[in-house]
Chains A and B, each alone.
Chain A
């Protein structure tokens, strides 16, 4: 299945992209998305357990990803 992955701020700079698509096995977790991104060039700048969101809401790393989901890897936030 295909999922869309969003990167932001320092994570987007590290990987050189702010959006990518991944092919994942059925039953994959959002934690597996992080593992895959960390294997990419520059991906080691991401921590092993960053904040994650699925479809615009925070989600734990154990969340099962579904086809068409939008997974976001969230750097430390600094609004305000």
Chain B
């Protein structure tokens, strides 16, 4: 089973965990991505996340399905937040449950790596100096006036 969502409010990690927990699943792995206070040496005070909503949800579900194929028996729930987030806020949460810990952990790693590689979500970082930029993980983004 798997379920992926976008949300514009705070992610309820406990609720996400309950979605995958079951008596025959002795291992639950939780990954949380949070807004870091610096990037490339610059002080960050917030990030605006935006998405191609329909495709982001579809792609997250495809990734969860792939993980379920690779790690048979894993249950997956994940949620990505969009909108304006402050330093420390949870931007993404992934819960994977399996009978055993190796599959629970490996499935989680698979989901976050694929999510970062291909889910159509973008972030615009706001820096303490008043500037902001679209983040391109593959290269330094162009400077944009505040």
Inter-subunit contact A8/B120 (CB<8 Å): yes
Judged by a CB distance under 8 angstroms, whether A40 is at the interface is no
B residues contacting the other copy or chain, number (CB 8 A)? 32
The secondary structure that dominates the B interface is: mixed
A residues contacting the other copy or chain, number (CB 8 A)? 17
Judged by a CB distance under 8 angstroms, whether B72 is at the interface is no
Within 8 A of A (CB), among B74-101: 80, 91-92
A-B CB pair tally, cutoff 8 Å: 75
The listed residue (A13, A53, A58, A76) touching B137 by CB distance below 8 A is: A76
Judged by a CB distance under 8 angstroms, whether A20 is at the interface is no
Within 8 Å CB of B50, what residues of A?
Answer: 8-9
Chain B residues packing against A (C-beta within 8 Å): 33, 49-52, 54-56, 58-59, 80, 91-92, 112, 115-124, 134-138, 141-142, 144
